[in-house]
A and B are shown apart, each in its own frame.
Chain A
């Protein structure tokens, strides 16, 4: 049969607006979370991380919120710019000592000028 490609959810925002990208994770043992940005033709680029003993962490124009109760992670981008257009991935690591990250499927952010 015909194969179906991975459908990425898309968030479209106006330049200057704030963006919120959400991610749900399933592993209760996850204790470390990272947001990556991937531009077309490039590798994922680290944006911000957060450990499970925190519920909020801020960077430059970005904030990550962690809600362990509902296993939810969000990335907030303030004053979104055209250069923010990319696919954003959340990744999690379990507290089992295993180094490997598990990546979400990604969200495409489109910034309209």
Chain B
């Protein structure tokens, strides 16, 4: 079974450039989460969607970050313009959304380096 798929796996860009990270959740899952992981702050929730609708974006750092989920099988996280402090590993996770089992399954992550 295919798990959560993320692309690209690695991204190196220069400060000021636009970065788009992509995620395909597990088929049938209706909740999708974007996390950021750094040595400084650990694993932080940025935003999550339920049935393609953003539910909580309080973790999004600032207006430079935006996330979309146009359909149940695809989501993007965009950073524009990017800054060196955005360098981190970005994870996407999905879950079935059922109240009784909210286990989140993580993708392999995208390692972003902003020079």
Question: What residues on B are CB-neighbors of A105 within 8 Å?
Answer: 42
* A5-29 interface code vs B (CB 8 A; 1 in, 0 out): 1100000000000000000000000
B35 to chain A, nearest CB (A): 8
Q: Given A6-B40, A100-B33, list of 9 further CB < 8 A pairs?
A: A4-B40, A44-B91, A46-B103, A89-B43, A98-B56, A99-B33, A99-B48, A101-B45, A103-B43
Which partner residue on chain B sits nearest A48 by CB separation? B103
Interface residue B105 (Cβ < 8 Å from any Cβ of A): yes
The answer for the CA separation of A42 and B110 in the assembled complex, in Å, is: 10
- Cβ contact of B108, chosen from A42, A93, A98, cutoff 8 A: A42
Question: Does B12 reach chain A (CB closer than 8 Å)?
Answer: no
Q: Using Cβ atoms and an 8 Å threshold, which residues of chain A touch B109?
A: 42-43
Report the bound CA distance from A51 to B99 in whole Å. 11
- Output the nearest chain A residue to B59 by Cβ-Cβ distance: A100
- Asked if A6 and B42 make an inter-chain contact with CB atoms under 8 angstroms apart, the answer reads yes
Q: How large is the interface on B (under 10, 10 to 19, 20 to 34, 35 or more residues)?
A: 20 to 34
A58 in contact (CB, < 8 A) = no
Q: Is the CB of B106 within 8 A of A44?
A: yes
CB contacts (< 8 Å) of B33 on chain A: these are 99-101
Q: Which residues of A sit under 8 angstroms from B104, Cβ to Cβ?
A: 34, 46, 101
CB atoms of B39 and A5 under 8 A apart: yes
Q: How far is the CB of A39 from chain B (nearest CB, A)?
A: 11
Q: What are 6 A-B contacts defined by CB distance under 8 Å?
A: A42-B108, A46-B103, A93-B102, A100-B33, A100-B56, A101-B104
Contacts of B31 in A (CB 8 A): 99
Q: Pick the contact of A43: B95, B102, B106 (CB < 8 A).
A: B106
A112 sits at the interface (CB 8 A): no
Chain B residues with CB under 8 Å of A97's CB are: 99
Asked if A46 contacts B95 (CB within 8 A), the reply is no
Residues of A within 8 A of B56 (CB): 98, 100
Docked pose: A105 CA to B43 CA in angstroms = 7
- Is B102 a contact of A99 with CB atoms below 8 Å? yes
